[in-house]
Amino acid sequence: MDLNLAVAENIKRLRKGRKMSLEQAAEASGVSKSMLGQIERGEANPSVAIIGKLAAAFKVPAAQLLENDAFESLLVSRELDHLPNRLAGGRVLVRPSFPYDGTTRTETCFIDLYLGGAYEPQPSIPGCLCRLTVLAGKIKLDAEEQQFLLEERDGLRFAADRPYRMENMGNSVVRVLAAYQYIK
């Protein structure tokens, strides 16, 4: 996101969060109402002095007005956009749902275990957590030196930076959603 637009959004968000009108924010900061309106619309490039006045009026560090992580909350992920990986002689299919996102430090994938299928990935990087939800079928999951039998709609959170293994325990295809979060 453009820095002027980021500043505009940050100022507007702070002003509205404090339930301040443009007039109230202008009065509190000493910045004219017309200038503040131009800044919030992204039409003006505020000086360091104006940023300082607005930060003081909102009682936040000036750096908060300049934050620009370029994170967009809305993202569509389509199955056909992500190629699956066939593993274990074709008995396991791993398809990314949302590939790794550096801002949220997360990624998700669907894992299908066909009859007789077992999935045992390499441990992830230190600090990785997995939130696994069974969407269909029944699996045996070995994680953190324990064994769990999970059925449809069951979930388990575990450390994915250690060895883990899941195995199809039923007579139909098992489908799970694995969400990985990289904490460290």
Does position 69 have pLDDT exceeding 70, yes or no?
Answer: no
Does position 64 have pLDDT exceeding 90, yes or no?
Answer: no
d(CA 117, CA 163): 17
From the number of C-beta atoms within 10 Å of its C-beta (0-12, 13-18, 19+), residue 139 rates as buried
Query: What single string gives the DSSP state of each residue in 144-180?
Result: TTEEEEEETT-EEEEETTS-EEEEE-SSS-EEEEEEE
Calculate mean pLDDT across residues 87-101: 92
Calculate mean pLDDT across residues 109-136: 96
Pick from 85, 80, 92, 67: nearest CA to 1: 67
- Match domain 79-182 to its CATH number in 1.10.40.50, 2.60.120.10, 1.25.40.80, 3.90.79.10: 2.60.120.10
Q: Is 24 helix (H, G, I), strand (E, B) or coil?
A: helix
What are the sequence ranges of the domains in the chain?
Answer: 3-65, 79-182
Lowest mean pLDDT among 11-15, 64-68, 95-99, 128-132: 64-68
pTM over 0.75: no
CATH of domain 3-65: 1.10.260.40
Q: Can you say whether residue 182 is alpha, beta or left, with left for phi > 0 and alpha for psi between -120 and 50 degrees? A: beta
Per the listing, tokens 């131009």 go with: 38
How sure is the predictor about 184, in pLDDT bands with cuts at 50, 70 and 90?
low
Average pLDDT of the chain to the nearest whole number:
91
Hey, what are 25's tokens?
């924010």
The tens digit of pLDDT for each residue in 46-61 reads: 989 999 999 999 999 9
